[in-house]
Chain A
Amino acid sequence: MRSQICLVDTSKCTGCRACQSACKQWNQLPAESTTFTGAYENPPYFSCMTWTKVVFREHDDHGSTRWYMSKQGCMHCTDAACVLACPTGAIHHTNQGTVTIDEIKCIGCNYCAAACSFRVIGFDRSANFAKKCTFCYDRISNGLKPACSSACPTGALLFGDEREIIRQAQSRVGYLQANGRQDARIYGLDEVQGTAMLYVLEDFPDRYGLPSDPHVPIQTRIWNAIYGPLRIAVVLAVTFSIWANYNKNRELDEGKAANQDGGGAER
């Protein structure tokens, strides 16, 4: 289903956060107002204004320090909890195999954010939309790499053909294991039936702040089983109501405009 994916090779990540600011720049996301809370990582949470960021985790490894840095954001899961949770089908898999949100269909229920194992979906209260990484759908559809990958100076964010990227990830893990990182692994190949953001980790996922066993919550599956068949009806209803409202608004607008014009003519 997927043709192109992205590899996050944490063993090459220097935490420079070029990806984080490139994402904000390309997607024109405003800066959040933050404070220093005791660590380099900032903003503290993913939000409608922060779709990707570098997560920093310090660890004491038998007296020696480890500092795990990794770019995190939407994983674009195959078995995506958010897609199953969405009551309107607004959040869906694209023809590229990535997960994106159709803002027209989004009703702002926030079920997707609650279901996500990675806690990467933000909610825009003013617009009443869920927002998250689009995998730079606009860029990759036009032959460009995602903004984060373009900005990475060290080659830690590789974008390319799925098979080639998986092969590179496997060879990198082999290299790391042979060079003293016995716990090096690929993350995102089997998890949630595969993710479009594939990771090479040097250590256990929890050291990076990633869930060890990401999965679709059972509640989401039950909800989806019951609600799924109704979805088409709901979508039709929502679409009808939007259409009806649009027509009504247009009639009102036209009426107002006519009145104003008329008023002007009278004077």
Chain B
Amino acid sequence: MTNHWIDYQHSDVIMAIGGNTAENHPVSMKWIERARETKGAKLICVDPRFTRTAAVSDLHVPLRPGTNTAYLGGLIRYILDHGLYHEDYVRHYTNASFLIQDDFDFDAVSGLFSGVEDDPTRSAKKYDRSSWQYRSDEQGNAGTDLSMQSPNCVLQLLRKHYADYTVDAISEITGCDRDVLEESYRLFASTGIPGKAGNILYAMGITQFTHGAQNVRAIGIVQALLGNMGIAGGGVNAQRGQSNVQGATDMAMLYHIIPGYMSTPQQAAHPSLSDYLQRETPAAGWWTNRPKYFISLLKAFYGEHAVESNEFGYQWLPKLDGKDHSHIAMYKSMAEGEMEGLICWADNPAVSGPTAGSKRQYTANLKWLVSIDLFENETASFWKEQGKNPEEIDTEVFILPAAASYEREGNKANSGRWIQWQWKAQDAPGDCRSDLWIVNALFKRLQALYAGEGGIVPEPIVNMAWQYDDSSGQIDIEKVCSEINGYRIDGSGLVKNFLELKDDGSTVCGNWLYSGYYNDLSHPPCKRRQRETEGIGSHLQWAYAWPLNRRIVYNRCSADPSGKPWNPDVPQVWWDQQARDWKGYDVPDFNTGLTPVSSARTPFIMLPEGKARLFSAFLNDGPLPVHYEPADSPTANRLYPAATFNPISQRFYENHVVETEQDREKYPYVLTTYRVVEHYQTGTITRNMPWLNEMMPELFVEIDEELAAELGIANGSRVTVTSKRLENQAGVEAKACVTKRLRPMMVNGRKTHVVGMPFHWGFIGMNKGAVVNDLTPSVGDPNTTIPEFKASLCNIRRCDE
């Protein structure tokens, strides 16, 4: 998130959209309550279901699952139409005044932008993005119109694009009552006044769609228009759903990035180090420093073997082959027999993946499978599932018992980017080992094998610098932390932070963003625990936040161009005219050597143009978010009649989603999946805890009272849920939870029922249940391929039918 948990206390209006904050991030409510108590803040809960967050909110806005872009597009229109945006902020800190190419266009029938082409390899469309670029002069400077009146400037294009997103249209699309919708728009748009802060919290209910990345973009546009970025109590705040999932992302657990959010090199585009650095290093903005971070990372990978003459080992770094290697695509290649083995580390895709039933089937194509977890899970024991014959399955499965987080030490990054040290509380039982111990043992053996026996391309492994053992041969975590933090190879010690990194091979750094978090072996900043006595709750001496201990990023925007805070009650940074210097309660996120006016030109320092992008050519599926229906949709696209689901999203399987009227009749109800506070993810840990099982003992499906009456379903009785993915199969059995917390919606003139199911259950453990993700489709966002878990179609029948 751009801000942090404690900062929620400064919000005037908080919108929890696509996230059930009270239930899945309970501590957030402490700070939300503080904001409500001390400054009368309002909480808006945008969620199809009346959740525990809705129960404590001031306004509940029920949307049909999969219509967030329409909702947010309606909010953008409302802000623009009523002139509620923060005009000075928009003019100076966003690209609203930038001019776009003349041939940029959008077709309101197909719902497609200019530059569209067919992409037969993905059974989808793709874009040539040249018409989405800024109109530049001969020197390459983007043309602007500071009056923001030109029809080609971003602000006017935004107006035009969202002109059709009227409250009435959005009410029909989302199924939400018109007055409730308008009230939520009015309330949130009230934060466009300087000095007011609006905060948007989101989670998987925004991202897990075939248009998930554009949902996040829409949130960013709203927050930039209202001047809510970089200010206390504002921000785009992604609430992460697991302890240290932020850290895992920072360390590049995804295949398209390497540590520190640098793109993974591609074989075709970046055959050499200089190609990578030239193409990936922009002319302006903070990423001009990329060569320093990238070469220091190569030094961390290959140590003394990485020298200038061999491109610092660049050729040993695995490159992308141009194909999709995300979760859905990976399982497709497993289905096609292209994969031999799989290591599932703290992962249980047999329950968590979309169309999980087929995943369990494909797993049998593997020769070997390693599962590293606290308990036996469904992925490791896929062969135990009812109906499977272990005699016919040749996969060899290894289960490595891992230590729980309290049984090992290390650092964790929370959603607010605070890297905090966690000390070990107790020893792990039996043979359980920490993840670090396991990866160290595994890699050392691999390296010895390659060194001894050779193999296909042994260099990347043999030349890997891997000296983390202490004198007794045990892994020394301090050595790992030192490498992540970065050090100089001349023996002069750790670098203070990433400002000291070099591109000549003289520094080593495992992740530039973390540089500074462990820069003093006796007092590492991530172990600091000093509370703030005065200030705005930044607690700068408590742990370490990346980057450079900044608590709110883009905080130059908290003050006007002259350096005067928009909100003097919670100032973050300000220009002290007498001292001719910047002062603040946060670490400035800009070059403090610059005067206020100069620094105001590029407050978004990561981007070449230095401005928040209301319009962005960065994503694969358009420069502005468009309302597309989810892949499994109960209705046609009201705004763009020829559009189905996101046309850029890859079609992995034929006949996989509901696309015909006939199928819609077969699967008439909208299904959304979610978590409850009592269980965690696939339940591997929590379904083995009796106290939690007692509270949530069985899988259930939430059904509104009207639908239950129509289908003759009694509360607590057994029902079967089916979907297009389980056609002619048994379906998912669950208990009915007939509730007032769901109500039928009128969607484009038709009554539509939404049902909800938590996805915590599986067939291994103390508390067993059906796998809900057997129902969900294997379709994903065209930028991230995150699967569309949150909106699909299903049918329900009584078990006794």
Interfacial chain B residues near A153, Cβ < 8 Å? 26-27, 29-30
B677 in contact (CB, < 8 A): yes
B83 in contact (CB, < 8 A): no
Asked if B696 and A42 make an inter-chain contact with CB atoms under 8 angstroms apart, the answer reads yes
Q: How far is B27's CA from A69's CA once the two chains are assembled, in angstroms? A: 17
Interfacial residues of chain A within 174-205, with CB under 8 A of chain B in the complex: 175, 179
Q: How far is B700's CA from A30's CA once the two chains are assembled, in angstroms? A: 24
**Most chain B beta carbons < 10 A, residue from A20, A21, A31, A155:** A31
Q: How far is B56's CA from A66's CA once the two chains are assembled, in angstroms? A: 9
Interface 9-mer from B417-425, B581-589, B687-695: B687-695
Report which of B27, B678, B700 forms a contact with A17, defined as CB distance below 8 A: B678
Asked if B737 and A36 make an inter-chain contact with CB atoms under 8 angstroms apart, the answer reads yes
B190 in contact (CB, < 8 A): no
Asked if A15 and B52 make an inter-chain contact with CB atoms under 8 angstroms apart, the answer reads yes
Interfacial chain B residues near A58, Cβ < 8 Å? 739-741
Write the nearest CB–CB distance from B715 to chain A, whole angstroms. 4
Report which of A17, A35, A67 forms a contact with B695, defined as CB distance below 8 A: A17
B524 in contact (CB, < 8 A): no
Q: How far is B690's CA from A17's CA once the two chains are assembled, in angstroms? A: 14
Asked if B740 and A21 make an inter-chain contact with CB atoms under 8 angstroms apart, the answer reads no
Asked if A38 and B692 make an inter-chain contact with CB atoms under 8 angstroms apart, the answer reads no
Asked if B50 and A67 make an inter-chain contact with CB atoms under 8 angstroms apart, the answer reads yes
Interfacial chain B residues near A40, Cβ < 8 Å? 676, 696
A126 in contact (CB, < 8 A): no
Interfacial chain A residues near B56, Cβ < 8 Å? 11-14
Size of the A side of the interface (Cβ < 8 Å), in residues, is 39
B341 in contact (CB, < 8 A): no
Asked if B26 and A14 make an inter-chain contact with CB atoms under 8 angstroms apart, the answer reads yes
A261 in contact (CB, < 8 A): no
B37 in contact (CB, < 8 A): yes
Q: How far is B62's CA from A113's CA once the two chains are assembled, in angstroms? A: 43
Given contacts A38-B737, A65-B740, A67-B741, contact A154 B694 (CB under 8 A): no
Interfacial residues of chain B within 678-727, with CB under 8 A of chain A in the complex: 678, 690-700, 715-716
Given contacts A17-B677, A153-B27, contact A38 B37 (CB under 8 A): no
Interfacial residues of chain A within 63-102, with CB under 8 A of chain B in the complex: 64-69
Asked if A31 and B694 make an inter-chain contact with CB atoms under 8 angstroms apart, the answer reads yes
Q: How far is B537's CA from A13's CA once the two chains are assembled, in angstroms? A: 24
Asked if A21 and B691 make an inter-chain contact with CB atoms under 8 angstroms apart, the answer reads yes
A39 in contact (CB, < 8 A): yes
Report which of A15, A33, A65 forms a contact with B50, defined as CB distance below 8 A: A65
Q: How far is B716's CA from A40's CA once the two chains are assembled, in angstroms? A: 11
Asked if A155 and B690 make an inter-chain contact with CB atoms under 8 angstroms apart, the answer reads no
B757 in contact (CB, < 8 A): no
Write the nearest CB–CB distance from A34 to chain B, whole angstroms. 5
Q: How far is B54's CA from A242's CA once the two chains are assembled, in angstroms? A: 56
Interfacial residues of chain B within 378-408, with CB under 8 A of chain A in the complex: none
Given contacts A153-B29, A154-B29, contact A35 B698 (CB under 8 A): yes
A114 in contact (CB, < 8 A): no
Asked if B695 and A42 make an inter-chain contact with CB atoms under 8 angstroms apart, the answer reads yes
Asked if A32 and B27 make an inter-chain contact with CB atoms under 8 angstroms apart, the answer reads no
A60 in contact (CB, < 8 A): yes
Closest to A41 in B: B695
B22 in contact (CB, < 8 A): yes
Write the nearest CB–CB distance from B733 to chain A, whole angstroms. 12
Asked if A69 and B26 make an inter-chain contact with CB atoms under 8 angstroms apart, the answer reads no
B736 in contact (CB, < 8 A): yes
Asked if B23 and A14 make an inter-chain contact with CB atoms under 8 angstroms apart, the answer reads yes
Asked if A32 and B698 make an inter-chain contact with CB atoms under 8 angstroms apart, the answer reads no
B40 in contact (CB, < 8 A): yes
Closest to A11 in B: B56
A59 in contact (CB, < 8 A): yes
Asked if B700 and A36 make an inter-chain contact with CB atoms under 8 angstroms apart, the answer reads yes
A24 in contact (CB, < 8 A): yes
Size of the B side of the interface (Cβ < 8 Å), in residues, is 40
B520 in contact (CB, < 8 A): no
Interfacial chain A residues near B53, Cβ < 8 Å? 14
Q: How far is B678's CA from A104's CA once the two chains are assembled, in angstroms? A: 36
Q: Is the contact region of chain A dominated by helix, strand, or loop, or is it mixed?
A: loop
Interfacial residues of chain A within 144-181, with CB under 8 A of chain B in the complex: 153-155, 175, 179
Q: How far is B693's CA from A21's CA once the two chains are assembled, in angstroms? A: 11
Interfacial chain A residues near B29, Cβ < 8 Å? 12, 14, 153-154
B760 in contact (CB, < 8 A): no
Chain A 1-41, CB within 8 Å of chain B: the 1/0 string? 00000000001111111101100110000111111111110
Interfacial chain B residues near A21, Cβ < 8 Å? 691-692, 695
Asked if A18 and B694 make an inter-chain contact with CB atoms under 8 angstroms apart, the answer reads no
Asked if A34 and B697 make an inter-chain contact with CB atoms under 8 angstroms apart, the answer reads yes
Asked if B23 and A34 make an inter-chain contact with CB atoms under 8 angstroms apart, the answer reads no
B299 in contact (CB, < 8 A): no
Interfacial chain B residues near A59, Cβ < 8 Å? 740
Report which of A42, A68, A69 forms a contact with B697, defined as CB distance below 8 A: A42
Interfacial residues of chain B within 121-155, with CB under 8 A of chain A in the complex: none
Report which of A30, A36, A65, A154 forms a contact with B735, defined as CB distance below 8 A: A36
Report which of B22, B54, B735 forms a contact with A16, defined as CB distance below 8 A: B22
Closest to B62 in A: A65
B347 in contact (CB, < 8 A): no
Interfacial chain B residues near A35, Cβ < 8 Å? 697-698, 735
Interfacial chain A residues near B40, Cβ < 8 Å? 179
Closest to B51 in A: A67
Given contacts A14-B22, A36-B700, A36-B716, contact A175 B50 (CB under 8 A): no
Write the nearest CB–CB distance from B122 to chain A, whole angstroms. 42
A209 in contact (CB, < 8 A): no
Write the nearest CB–CB distance from B214 to chain A, whole angstroms. 30
A228 in contact (CB, < 8 A): no
Asked if B693 and A31 make an inter-chain contact with CB atoms under 8 angstroms apart, the answer reads yes
Interfacial chain B residues near A37, Cβ < 8 Å? 715-716
B642 in contact (CB, < 8 A): no
Interfacial chain A residues near B557, Cβ < 8 Å? none
Interfacial chain B residues near A179, Cβ < 8 Å? 40
Asked if B52 and A14 make an inter-chain contact with CB atoms under 8 angstroms apart, the answer reads yes
Report which of A18, A43, A67 forms a contact with B54, defined as CB distance below 8 A: A67
Q: How far is B47's CA from A67's CA once the two chains are assembled, in angstroms? A: 15
Asked if A66 and B55 make an inter-chain contact with CB atoms under 8 angstroms apart, the answer reads yes
Report which of B55, B691, B737 forms a contact with A69, defined as CB distance below 8 A: B55
Closest to A58 in B: B740
Asked if B741 and A38 make an inter-chain contact with CB atoms under 8 angstroms apart, the answer reads no
Write the nearest CB–CB distance from B738 to chain A, whole angstroms. 6
B324 in contact (CB, < 8 A): no
Interfacial chain A residues near B23, Cβ < 8 Å? 14-16
Closest to B716 in A: A38
Q: How far is B50's CA from A69's CA once the two chains are assembled, in angstroms? A: 13
Closest to A9 in B: B33
Interfacial chain A residues near B715, Cβ < 8 Å? 37-39
Write the nearest CB–CB distance from B51 to chain A, whole angstroms. 9
Interfacial chain B residues near A31, Cβ < 8 Å? 690-691, 693-694
Interfacial chain A residues near B691, Cβ < 8 Å? 21, 24-25, 31
Interfacial residues of chain B within 39-87, with CB under 8 A of chain A in the complex: 40, 50, 52-56, 60
Interfacial chain A residues near B697, Cβ < 8 Å? 34-36, 42
Report which of A18, A20, A60, A68 forms a contact with B26, defined as CB distance below 8 A: A18
Write the nearest CB–CB distance from B130 to chain A, whole angstroms. 49
Given contacts A14-B56, A67-B54, contact A154 B698 (CB under 8 A): no
**Most chain A beta carbons < 10 A, residue from B676, B690, B738, B740:** B740
Asked if B694 and A43 make an inter-chain contact with CB atoms under 8 angstroms apart, the answer reads yes
Could you give 24 example pairs across A and B, Cβ below 8 Å?
A12-B29, A14-B22, A14-B23, A14-B26, A14-B56, A18-B26, A20-B695, A21-B691, A21-B692, A31-B694, A36-B696, A39-B715, A42-B694, A42-B695, A42-B697, A58-B739, A65-B743, A67-B54, A67-B55, A69-B52, A69-B55, A153-B30, A154-B26, A179-B40
- A15-B22, A20-B695, A67-B50 given. 11 additional CB < 8 A pairs? A15-B23, A15-B55, A16-B22, A16-B23, A36-B699, A40-B696, A60-B740, A66-B55, A67-B54, A69-B52, A154-B30
4 nearest A-B residue pairs (beta carbon): A31-B690, A38-B716, A38-B715, A14-B22
